[in-house]
Amino acid sequence: MGKPNVGKSTAFSALTATPVDIADYPFTTIDPNVGIAWIPTPEPCRCKELAHRLGERIEVKEESREGSICQPRTGSCCNHRRLVPVTLVDVAGLVPGAHEGRGRGNQFLSDLSRCDALIQVVDVSGATDLEGNHTDESPASPTAEHNFLIDEIDLWLSGILNEGWSRGARRVQSGGDRALIDFIVQMISGLGGGERDAICGIQAARSNGADNQPWNWDENTLRIIASEIRKSMFPIAIAANKSDRVEPDFLRTTLDELEKLNLRCMPTSAEAELTLSRASNAGLITYQPGDGPSGFSVNPGSTLSKPQEEALERIREKTSTLEGNGLIDLLSKVVFEDLSMIVAYPVADEGKWTDAEDRKLPDAIILQSGSTARDLAYAVHTDLGDGFIRATNCVTGRTVGGDTELLMSDVIRIHSRT
Ligand SMILES: Nc1nc2c(ncn2[C@@H]2O[C@H](COP(=O)(O)OP(=O)(O)OP(=O)(O)O)[C@@H](O)[C@H]2O)c(=O)[nH]1
Ligand SMILES: [Mg+2]
């Protein structure tokens, strides 16, 4: 997400290898684009451990996979770097006044509700204003871009809370905080908000001096609640995009400014990554997800034209000094560090770590942290969840119950009545 014309769709296209409309003017994207990005798991694929367990008995057929022996049904694995799917949504640009319906405001805001985390793309090139139009005189600072964006989300949320607040809060007064929490959850559940978010909101209001008569809480207090609900609902990370267009010193100053926001922030060049993603799909280069845009190598035997060669060299030069490893790195950190998601491998055979068709470690599933063995069963299939009896942790050999929380990289056999 972000203001118009910053490179959201370019980043989306680079990450999902999906062709979408990209153009140098605001509101190119109207309806959201939805696609799958593949990100590497933070730990080596369990096929490394499996190869070790199988020892001599395993023949490595595919040297090109650098030792990986799993057989992913979707995604891939090379050098034990297993790729797992994440759904990305590329939304319309947001402009000031969006909460009142300006631009594609309401559309944008309701698209947010299906997301677990937000990545704001900001333009560090200093060439566009807050509405995404080119300007020499008054470019928006990336910090201003971020502040207006969270203001819009907060205003939109506080608008929702405001509607019928005092009547509703008075109606539930005899039920105390419990009833107040339920009342707030009712208003935010359609946006993906839950009890934890509502509690954070109320706590923030109280620590800012709100009294014991919630029905009298004013707009300012509701704004504080909205802001806290937003923080609790969506971690926000920042892609400092178009980094290729600025000198290193200028970029450093901008990143220092952005760091004061205390958010995860990474310099990116979506345009460079899109070029590399296309070159890689055309078989011209090898480009490992997460290695960063300067980590590509030209495939032996690819016949590059002179302009292609020069373009690739320019990309290497422009991106080699950037901190971090680009968009996939940013996305992985959001998923596995900020959201603390885990990956679990469901299998049917606890000794061979295969499915019913003898495929090794065919699935790697991303789950919320705190997910249990039963949650994994449901993620595989509703029937498997409904018929859940117990599970086996195939790494330790122990039997685990439905409520046992899973850890990163667990290999799990589910015993079910179905
Ligand atoms: N130099 C440079 N240009 C970029 C980069 N990323 C995107 N662009 C260009 O910026 C312009 C806008 O890109 P889009 O991806 O359409 O931007 P958007 O944020 O999706 O825009 P809207 O859908 O209109 O909100 C296009 O001309 C892109 O080629 C980048 O990293 N570097
Ligand atoms: Mg777009």
- Residue 92 is predicted with a pLDDT of 85
Rounded Cα–Cα distance for residues 178 and 185 (Å): 11
Ligand 1 centroid to residue 7 C-alpha, Å: 3
Q: Letter for the amino acid at 248?
A: P
Q: Domain map of the chain by residue range?
A: 8-44+80-150+236-334, 163-233, 338-416
- Residue 110 is predicted with a pLDDT of 72
What is the three-class DSSP state of 411? strand
Ligand 1 centroid to residue 203 C-alpha, Å: 40
Rounded Cα–Cα distance for residues 11 and 118 (Å): 13
- Residue 223 is predicted with a pLDDT of 97
- Binding site membership of 24 for ligand 1 (Cβ less than 6 Å): yes
> What is the atom index within ligand 1 of the atom nearest the CA of 268?
31
CB 6 within 8 A of CB 122: yes
- Residue 105 is predicted with a pLDDT of 58
- Residue 106 is predicted with a pLDDT of 65
DSSP per residue, 16-85: H-------SSTT---SPEEEEEEEE-SSPPTHHHHHHHHGGG-----GGGTT-----SSS-EETTEEEEE
- Binding site membership of 409 for ligand 1 (Cβ less than 6 Å): no
Q: Name the residue of 22, 104, 125, 243 whose CB sits within 8 Å of the most ligand 1 atoms, as the mutation to test its pocket.
A: 22
- Binding site membership of 267 for ligand 1 (Cβ less than 6 Å): no
What is the three-class DSSP state of 414? strand
Rounded Cα–Cα distance for residues 342 and 370 (Å): 9
- Binding site membership of 7 for ligand 1 (Cβ less than 6 Å): yes
Rounded Cα–Cα distance for residues 406 and 81 (Å): 21
CATH fold for the domain made of 163-233: Helicase, Ruva Protein; domain 3 (1.10.8)
- Residue 93 is predicted with a pLDDT of 87
From the CA of 127, the nearest ligand is 1
Q: Name the residue of 15, 31, 245, 271 whose CB sits within 8 Å of the most ligand 1 atoms, as the mutation to test its pocket.
A: 271
Q: Letter for the amino acid at 65?
A: R
What is the three-class DSSP state of 134? strand
CATH fold for the domain made of 8-44+80-150+236-334: Rossmann fold (3.40.50)
Nearest residue by C-alpha to atom 2 in ligand 1: 242
168: left (phi over 0), alpha (psi -120 to 50) or beta: alpha
Closest C-alpha among 92, 85, 101, 157 to residue 121: 92
Rounded Cα–Cα distance for residues 382 and 30 (Å): 35
Superfamily classification of domain 338-416? Beta-grasp domain (3.10.20.30)
In this structure, is the dihedral angle defined by the CA atoms of residues 16, 20, 26 and 27, taken in order, positive or negative?
negative
**Can you list the residues of the chain whose pLDDT is less than 70?**
56-64, 102-109
From the CA of 104, the nearest ligand is 1
pLDDT tens across 344-401, in order?
999 999 999 999 999 999 999 999 999 999 999 999 999 999 999 999 999 999 999 9
- Residue 57 is predicted with a pLDDT of 57
CB 87 within 8 A of CB 36: yes
Rounded Cα–Cα distance for residues 218 and 345 (Å): 49
- Binding site membership of 228 for ligand 1 (Cβ less than 6 Å): no
Going by their DSSP bridges, the two strands 297-298 and 399-400 should be labelled as unpaired
- Binding site membership of 319 for ligand 1 (Cβ less than 6 Å): no
